[in-house]
Every structure is written in structure tokens, then in C-alpha cells.
Structure 1
């Protein structure tokens, strides 16, 4: 099963996206529809809302007067929190039951307005966010819901900011243009990413084939992409995750790299790493069986210092290598030391960039990039004393920093 979190501010077009995904075959779990169910006439939820807010929130027919409730809570944060404390646990229970009832090969889309506000992005394989400029949303709310401009802006202002939504989005759908353009984007998302992603999760396989080493300029968005994946890994690993770091070349600003995010999950021992294999695979990170150690260094005769487990991403839209290493080992320290040094030392960074370009050009036909990787190894061995001197000079020690993303 593939779990997709779908969100967007009021008037952005989230419901349009949800309907289109349902047409393609997605199982849509609509949080707003569930919220209406938990306050249906005669329900315990409605009785509790009336007890909290009074009979003035009921229509003459005894149903919840939703516009009246909105008028009361969207201008009062304390009242909104009071209402949410009644509704959200009940809605969450119904949503969990809907996920449980979905077929094992389903793409389940959780249409949830407060995904960003509640920090829920890491619960899903992907977070899809629909956005539109505030002026466009205000106009839509005036035309389709009869709101005044003041009411529309008030509702928008009570929700997450655009900046927060962008930070949470693995997929950002811009609904500024026509409905036709938006639907075409949704169609492509379904065909090119969601369907193969679900299949890869179900079959426990990587989302990408082996490719030749192609370097690109540093993408400033890599850090945000890594941060979202780090949170997913932390959630899945729970207390077994001693830390999760964004490592490798994509964690170093101004350094060219392959468009593959390298993350390091730190665990207490390899038995823990092996126990995490199944939950990581279910979360979209299948184990890659071809690598179980880093290249041992000639100065270190202990191969256990370089043992690890490697997982890749089942998502065809975001390549990831997740290295699971044991705290305190040399391989673990290497993975933290070299990016920290390269971030701090411009000359070392330029030296390594030059090596990367030359090695990528030399092994440009290497389909699995193994020769490219091996071709860089002597550089790390030769530069380790310089990296260690930098660490001693600035007082850097592996594990002192919080998990860097």
C-alpha cells in the first residue's frame, strides 16, 4: 500500500486533485467527510460539541450549523483548539479504519487540510501539496462559497503559511492556471510516480535502475528534500535511530554531485540494522543486498569497522541511498567527518569537485557507477590526515552535532 498525504489551503484546489486521483483508482480518505460523520445528528461527537459550545451551534433541524461554528472558531485560536480536541481523535480513528480496509495494492490518498499544521508529513510515503496565490484563493472563495473578502482572508490566515507548505511538500502542484493544466499535472503524477512507487513498495524493490554517474550543480533544494526523508526514517526507526544525517556530496553546498541523496542512519549494532529492514522497506526504503560494507582502508585491518547496510528509495521520483551504520565505527565517522570538513574548507571542496568531474568523465559509461565510486576512494585515504587536523583544530567530534539535514 502506498500512503499519500494530500493537503492545501482553503480555495487552493485540493478537492479537485482528490477527485482526479479517485478517478484514476486511488482510495481517497477525506478528512472533511469524516469530520462531518463524527458530528452527524445523534452522534456522541455532536453531543460533545453542543456541550462545549451551546445549542446555538445547532440548526433548527438539530444538525450542526457549520457556518456558525466556523464563525466562532476561526477567529479564536482557543476555541478552535477546543473544537479540534473533540473532532480530531474521532476523525483519526475513522481514518485509521479506512486505511486498514484498503486493498494491499492500493494507493491511499489521505485528503487532510491540516497535514502541515499537525506535522503529519512523515506519516506518508509522499506529501502532495496544492497551492495557489492568496488573491486567487480569495476570489475563488468569494465566487464558490459566498464569503466576503474579509472572511476569506481570515480563513486563509488561520491556516499554515505558504512557506510552511512548501517545506512539507514532496510534490507541489501549482493551481494558478487553468483546471485543465492542474488535471494534466495530476495525471502525470499518477502515471509516472504514484503507480510505480506503489508497485515498488509492494515488490520491495528500488525505484531506479542503475545509471551512469552524471554530475549536476548543487541544488539548494536538496537540503529540504533530505530533511523530509530524514523525518520519515526517524519515524520508522523510532528509538533505534540514534541519529539520522544528510551526508555525502548533496549535503555540501557548492559541490557538484549526482542527484542522489545520501543519508546515514546510526544504530547501536548491525542486528538492529537488520531488524529495521522490513519496516524501512514498508516505508519505501528497500534493502539493497549488493553492498554490506564500505571499502576498508589500508590502515585499518578490522573489517567490522566498515560493515553497514544499504537501503535505496522505492520512489521513482527521488533517488536516495540510506546507509545504516553502527555508532562509533570508522565508516560511521568517515561519513560525518568528510562532509563537515568539505563544508568548512573551500580549497578541499574545490579539490574534491575537480576529482569528481574528472572521475565522472573517465567512467561516464559505467552503468552502476561502481568504477566511479572506486575511483574516488584513494582521495579520501590521502586526505584523511588533513580532515583529522581540521577536526582537531576546530574541536569537531563525530556525534556532537545534532542530525544534520
Structure 2
């Protein structure tokens, strides 16, 4: 299934986005609903809260008086930590049960207010953040939910900052506009990204990037870090290091809008052992690529030994963020070259300019072609230059 994390500050409008996605066919798991369920009358959760905060948090009918609990739980860090230690394990257990019950082809949307605070973003295939300025959210809480301004500010200050949420956002949904303005954006997201992403992930089909240069994007580095965080979760101890490589790792360099990541492992057996975990994380293998273009190396001047340049290549199934994930063994020529080449371009302006001209020539050669013909034309220009660059770096 495709796991989508949905979050945003209080009053941002997550419920509107969640409703639209559910109407389009998503399986919605609402953490707030679960949080209420696990502290309903007669539950172990409610008993634990009463033991921690006293009978004053109960209403006359024995149910939880949420404003009374909030007044105590949000008063200081220690009280909030106590609340979280009681409710989070219960919410997590129930969430796991609901995820297990979802269909294999589901687009599963988890509405999690504290997604950032609890470090859950890397567990998701994609994170949607509903973004609204804090003062607007405070006004909405006061006007539409009857929350006092003091309480609204206290709750918002206890949550992640807008900057922290934006840092984990694969998709930032601006909901500062008029009511209903966000609806069309969510429908388009469903049709153009979420549905194709789920299909690609289920069928093991990496999304295709275009052989077209675009201006350097300052956000590429942050996008790469979000991918790397997911890859660490998928790889665990099998990865020795994970690095952002390639042109998008070089600030200011125009490039194809495809993020390149290198996972360094002990050997190819370890690389093959990651096949299932990476596919589940949304990075299926490209089976037609098993090595880099060999270059003359010490002990093999002709570069005929492909074993020295063996790798595994995976691609992102997300059509909204194409990425290549190269898996190479520690200390192999290809693994070292990927890092050294990146660092050379970062430090040498003349090399960057020279490489950019080569890429523009390759783009021109591939123009008007498609599929394998376009790729052959594009890399037919670049690979000879890479061979020469390898010698220069040596």
C-alpha cells in the first residue's frame, strides 16, 4: 500500500484535506479519532490519565473532559510528556491494527497532528503538510472552535514550528486562502501524483525523469535529505553511509530534475538483500542496470572487468519526485568516483562550467528522441567526458 502522512498545525485545515482524499477513495486513519477512542470510558487509557492527572479531568458522565485535561497537560513540558507517554503507545497499537486491515492496493492517509514531533515522516512514502500562518490558525481556533486565545497560543507553541513542518513536507498545501480554494489542489494531487505513485509502487515501476535540464533548485538538497531519511529506515544497519550525489548535489548547477542518491554497502550481497525493503519504501529496482560504465582502473587498464563497477540501481516510484538510488560496495571505483566527482564539481567552478556545457550538448542530442534512443544519445555524449574526468581525478 501507499502510506501518506498528513499533518499541519492546529486550525490549518487538515480535516478538509482528509475529507477530500477519503471521498476520492483513500483509506483514512485519523489519529485524533483514535486518540479519543483509546481514552473512552472504560478503557485502560482513561484510567491511566485519571491516575496521572486526577479525577478533575472527568466530566459528570465519567467521560474525559478534554479542556480540563488540556489545561493540565499543556501547562508544562513534564505534564505534556506524561500525557504522551500514556496515549502514544495506545494510539500506535490501534493504528497498527488499522494499517494491517487495509487492502494491499490502498492509498492509506494517516492524519497525524504530531507527525513531526514524533519523528514519523521517514516512515511515510509521502508527507503532506497543510500550511497556514500561525496567526490565521489562532484566529480560526478562536472564531470557529471556541478556544480561548491564550489556550490556542499555548497549544500551538507546544507543537512543531511552521519551519519544522515545511522541512519534512514533500507536498506543501497552502490553505491560507478562501474556504474551498484548496479543494482543486487536493483533487489534482490525487489524480496526478497519489494514484500513479500507488500504481508504480505496487507494480515495481520507477517513475521516469525527463532528459531535460532545468535551472538549479535550492530545494534539491532538502528533497534529497527527505529521501535519505526514508532510505535509512529501509536499509537499517545494511547501509554504511547514504549520500546525495550527482548534479543536484552541486549548488547552482543546472541539472535534470532527478535526485541521485548513493547507498554504500559492504558488498553486492548486502545490496541484493535490500530489494524488498527498498521496494516497500517506494524505490523499486531497475533490473536492466547492474553496473556503471567501466573505466580504466589500476590492475585493469582496459576497464574490461565489469565486476569492479558493479552496482544496483533503484528508482523512486513517485512521479512527483523522480530519483535514482545507486547501491555500490564500499571502496569500489564507482563508489569512490561518485563522491569524488561531486566534491570536485562543488569546489571547481571551471569544472562545473565545463560539465554544464557537456550536459547541454547531450540534451541537444537527445531532443526529439524518446525511450532508449534518447538515453543512448544523451549518455553517448556524457560517458566519454566521464571517462576523461575519471582520469583527471586520479
Output the TM-score relative to the length of structure 2.
0.95
- Are 1:307 and 2:310 an aligned pair? yes
Q: Is the 8 A contact 2:295 2:390 kept in 1?
A: no
Structure 2 match to 1:215:
213
Residue among 333, 341, 346 paired with 1:343 = 346
Matched-pair contact (CA < 8 Å) for 1:2–1:106: yes
Alignment partners' CA distance in 2, 1:364 and 1:47: 67
Query: What aligned pairs does 1:235-250 form with structure 2 within 5 A after superposition?
Result: 235-250=233-248
Between stretches 115-124 and 199-208, larger displacement belongs to 199-208
Q: Is 1:17 paired with 2:17?
A: yes
1:103-252 equivalences in 2 (<5 Å): 103-208=103-208, 211=210, 213-252=211-250
Task: State the Cα distance separating 1:330 from its structure 2 match.
Answer: 0.3
The one-character-per-residue Cα deviations of 1:301-328 (angstroms, maximum 9, x if unpaired) are 4321111111111111111111111111
Within 2, Cα distance between the matches of 1:363 and 1:83? 59
Report the secondary structure of 1:296's partner residue: coil
Secondary structure of the equivalent of 1:179?
Answer: coil
**1:243 Cα deviation from its structure 2 partner:** 1.0
Alignment match, 2:255: 257
1:370 deviates by 3.1
Q: Contact 2:262–2:326 (CA<8 Å) still a contact in 1?
A: yes
* Partner secondary structure for residue 147 of structure 1: coil
Q: CA RMSD for the aligned pairs? A: 1.3
The separation in 2 between residues aligned to 1:386 and 1:179, in whole angstroms, is 59
Q: Does structure 2 retain, via aligned residues, the 8 Å contact 1:250–1:260?
A: yes
* Structure 1 counterpart SS, 2:140: helix
> In 2, distance between residues paired with 1:290 and 1:44?
53
Distance 2:317 2:226 in 1: 15
Give 1:71 shift: 1.0
Tell me which residue corresponds to 1:380: 386
Q: Helix, strand or coil: the match of 1:128?
A: strand
Q: 1:84 deviation in Å?
A: 0.4
Gaps of 5+ in 2: none
CA distance in 1, matches of 2:340, 2:380: 19
Q: CA deviation at 1:272?
A: 1.5
Q: Name which of structure 1's ranges 116-125 and 364-373 shifts more when overlaid on structure 2.
A: 364-373
1:272 lines up with 2:270 in the alignment: yes
Contact persistence 1:366–1:372 (CA under 8 A): no
**Mapped pair 1:370 → 2:345:** no
Matched, 1:331 2:334: yes
Q: Distance in 2 between matches of 1:139 and 1:129?
A: 19
Aligned partners of 2:334, 2:377: CA distance in 1, in Å? 20
Please state whether the residue corresponding to 2:6 is helix, strand or coil.
Answer: strand
Specify the alignment match of 1:290 in structure 2: 288
Q: Do the aligned residues in 2 keep the contact of 1:247 with 1:339 (CA within 8 Å)?
A: yes
* Partner SS for 1:180: coil
SS in 1 for 2:180: helix
Structure 1, unaligned stretches of length 5 or more? Answer: 389-405
1:5-51 Cα offsets, whole Å, 9 max, x none, are: 10000000011111111111111111111111111111111111111
Aligned residues: 386
